[in-house]
Structure 1
Amino acid sequence: MRLEDIRRVAMIGAGTMGSGISMCFAQAGYEVALYSRSAEGIQRALNRVKHSQQVFIQEGLISEGEAEAARARIRGTDSLADALQGVQYVLESVPENLALKQALFREMETLCPPDTILATNTSGLSITAIASVCRYPQRVGGMHWANPPEIVPLVEVIRGEQTSEETMDLIYGMSERLGKVPVRVQKDIPGFASNRLQYALLREALHLVQEGVVTAEDVDRTLKNGVGFRYPWLGPLETADLGGLDVFHTICQYLFKELSTMTKTPAFFDEIVRGGNYGIKTGRGFYDYTGKSREQILRKRDLYFLRQLKLLREVREME
C-alpha cells in the first residue's frame, strides 16, 4: 500500500487521546470513523474536538469554516465492524492493558483486509506482544502520541520484532502528513524513547523532593526556567555539543554516580496517591487546585502550548 492510497481511517478509542488524534486526521483531510463502545463516549469525544478547535481558532491556526469541515469528516460509531468498514489505516488507543489490546487486534484483523495498517498508540506496552496474536504481525506497528495529541508535535514510530519496513514507512509518512514530527524507535523496549526520558527526569525530581533538597514547586521552577527553557530548541545532546563534550564528559564522571537509581516510588509520592490526590482530576496532587476548574487549567495549558507551537513553526520556516 502507498500513503496516497489511504483515504479513510479508523480511530479505535474515543478518550482524550482518541478524540485529539481524530481531530488531527480530520483536519488533514481524512475521513475518520471514531469508535467507542457507547453513544455517550462518542458524544463526549466530539464535544472535546469542538472545544479543542476553539483554541486553534482563537490563535488563528484554523478558521471557523475549516474547523466545521473537519468535524464533518468525523463519524462516530459504537460498532467495531462498522468503524473498520472500508478503511485503510487503523489506530488503536484503548486503555493500557495488554490482554485488552491483544483481543482487540485479534478481532480487528478478522475485519480488515490483509494490507490494512494496524497501529497502536500504546505508551509503553510491547508492540511485539500486541502483534503476537495476529496472522499478519508485519502490518502492526507503534504510533505513540503525546498529550495533548492535537498540539504536541512528536509521534514515535515503533518497530515490533516483525513490523515490516513498509509499515514503518507508512506510519512515519502518515505522521508527517498530519503535520507531526515523527521519530523511528528501532527497538521495542519498555517506554520506548520519550517516556524513558520523561520518567528518568521524573525519578530524579521525586528523589530531590523526597530528600528535602528542593520543594515540588522549586523542582518545576528549576526545570521550566533552566534546562526546560532550552529543550524546545536544543535537545540534551545538542546542548552538550554546544557546551563542550569535554566539559560534559567530566561532569558525567562525578555526577552519574550521585543520581537516583531508585526502582520504587518514594514514600511521599505513595502517600499522595493513597490519599486519593491524583492531580487536577481530584483538585489536589503535588499542588492544590482548589477554586480552579479542570477546564480552565487545561485551556490555559493548551493556549501556552499552541503559542509555543506557532513559534516553533516560524523558526523552522526560517531554517
Structure 2
Amino acid sequence: MTTSPFDTVTVLGTGVLGSQIIFQTAYCGIPVVAYDISDEALDRLPERWEQLKTYYRRDLQATDEQLDAAVARISATSDLAEAVASADLVIEAVPETIAIKKSTYEALSKVAPEHTVFATNSSTLLLSDMVDAVDRPDKFVALHFANNIWVQNTAEIMRHEGTADEVFEQLVQFAEAIGMVPIRVLKEQPGYVLNSLLVPFLNAAAALLVKGVADAPTIDLTWRRATGAPKGPFEIYDIIGMVTPYNLAMARAAESPESAAFAQFLKTNFIDQGKLGRASGEGFYKYDAEGNRLD
C-alpha cells in the first residue's frame, strides 16, 4: 500500500460524504479528527460508524478488529482551532454553497498551522472561486470523492493555477494511501470529470419528475432496463442524500424553473420530513440497516 504523505488528517463536515471520508481514512490507518459546527451532529457519529461498519463487513469482508481499530483512530470536536491544531491535511466537506465554503476557509486560515494543506471536496465549485478566502493558495487543491467511497473508490484531484506541483502530487499519493483510484483533473472544470457527466443526467431526471412526465420508480426502471445500468437516477439521489441536490438545485433556481421546482419538492417531501436518503433509511425508496432497498 502507498504510504500517506500526511500523518494526521482533519475532515470538516460529518454529513453523508464527510463521514465516509473520515471512516475510510481511519480504516486505512491514519488518525482523523472529525469536525462539525453542530455538537448534535457529532453525537450521532457513533451510530453512523455502526452503519458504515455494516457496509464494510458486507462489501470488503472487513473484520470487527479492523473496524474497531478504525473507530479508535477517530476523534471529534466542534472547536475548529482544536480540530486543526495538528493537521497535516484538512479536507473540507461542508455544504455546497460558495458563501459557506468561503467563510469556512476564512476561519480555517486563521487557525491552521502554516504547513497544513487545504483540500476541498466540493463537487461543482472551482478552486479559483474560493481561493481568495485562503491564506495559502499554493497549498489549496480539490479532492473530490464519489459516494460509497469504500467501493466506488475514485478521488478526483484538481488544481488551480497557483497550486504547487508538490502539493498536487501529495494529494495523488494520499488518495492511493486510502484505497482510492486517483483521477488527475488536468484543468479546472466545474463538476470535474464525474459530475460533468452525472449532474446533467440527474437534472434531466429531476425535470421529468417535476414536469409530471413520469414518477421516480418509472424513470429509474426505464434507465435500468434500457441501458443495463445497475441504478436509476433517483436511486443515485438516495445514495447522495437530499441536502446536496437541494443546494445545487437552489443555486440554479433563478435561471431554471425546473430546478426551483425540484428544490421545493426535495424540501417539502424529504428534507422537512427527515427523509434524507439511504443513510437515514428513507428517500425516494426505503432501506434496511444494511442499505438494501426494502421494496
TM-score range, shorter chain: 0.7 to 0.9
2:142–2:157 Cα contact (<8 Å) kept: yes
Q: Residue by residue, what CA displacement relative to the aligned partner does 1:164-213 show, whole Å, maximum 9, x if unpaired?
A: 22222111221111111221222323222222211222344456667887
Q: 2:265 aligns with which of 259, 273, 280?
A: 273
Asked whether 1:225 is paired with 2:225, we answer: yes
In structure 1, distance between residues paired with 2:59 and 2:69: 18
1:117–1:140 Cα contact (<8 Å) kept: yes
Q: 1:118 to 1:137 in 2, by over 3 A?
A: same
In structure 2, distance between residues paired with 1:281 and 1:298: 21
User: Which stretch of the first structure deviates more once superposed, 209-218 or 17-26?
Assistant: 209-218
SS of residue in 1 equivalent to 2:288: helix
User: Which stretch of the first structure deviates more once superposed, 8-17 or 188-197?
Assistant: 188-197
Give ranges in structure 1 of 5+ residues lacking alignment.
232-262, 304-319
In structure 1, distance between residues paired with 2:7 and 2:62: 22
In structure 2, distance between residues paired with 1:132 and 1:183: 25
Aligned residue type for 1:136: R
2:9–2:31 Cα contact (<8 Å) kept: yes
Shift of 1:115: 2.8
Point out the structure with max Rg over C-alpha.
Answer: 1
What does residue 66 of structure 2 align with? 66
SS of residue in 2 equivalent to 1:11: strand
Asked whether 1:300 is paired with 2:261, we answer: no
SS of residue in 1 equivalent to 2:141: strand
1:20–1:49 Cα contact (<8 Å) kept: no
Q: 1:134 to 1:180 in 2, by over 3 A?
A: same
2:56–2:150 Cα contact (<8 Å) kept: no
SS of residue in 2 equivalent to 1:119: strand
2:26–2:73 Cα contact (<8 Å) kept: yes
SS of residue in 1 equivalent to 2:33: strand
SS of residue in 1 equivalent to 2:268: coil
In structure 1, distance between residues paired with 2:284 and 2:132: 45
Q: How does 1:126-165 map to 2 (within 5 A)?
A: 126-165=126-165
TM-score normalised by structure 1 residue count? 0.71
2:4–2:177 Cα contact (<8 Å) kept: no
In structure 2, distance between residues paired with 1:271 and 1:106: 28
Shift of 1:154: 2.0
Q: How does 1:223-262 map to 2 (within 5 A)?
A: 223-229=223-229
Give ranges in structure 2 of 5+ residues lacking alignment.
232-254
In structure 2, distance between residues paired with 1:292 and 1:206: 12
Q: 1:267 to 1:11 in 2, by over 3 A?
A: closer
Aligned residue type for 1:109: S
- The alignment-based identity, stated in percent, is 27
1:277–1:284 Cα contact (<8 Å) kept: no
Report how many residues are paired.
267
Aligned residue type for 1:43: D
Q: How does 1:8-87 map to 2 (within 5 A)?
A: 8-59=8-59, 61-87=61-87
1:138–1:164 Cα contact (<8 Å) kept: yes
SS of residue in 1 equivalent to 2:291: helix
In structure 2, distance between residues paired with 1:265 and 1:24: 38
Q: 1:200 to 1:70 in 2, by over 3 A?
A: same
1:89–1:118 Cα contact (<8 Å) kept: yes
Alpha-carbon RMSD across the aligned residues, in angstroms, is 3.5
Aligned residue type for 1:29: G
What does residue 185 of structure 1 align with? 185
TM-score normalised by structure 2 residue count? 0.76
1:185–1:192 Cα contact (<8 Å) kept: yes
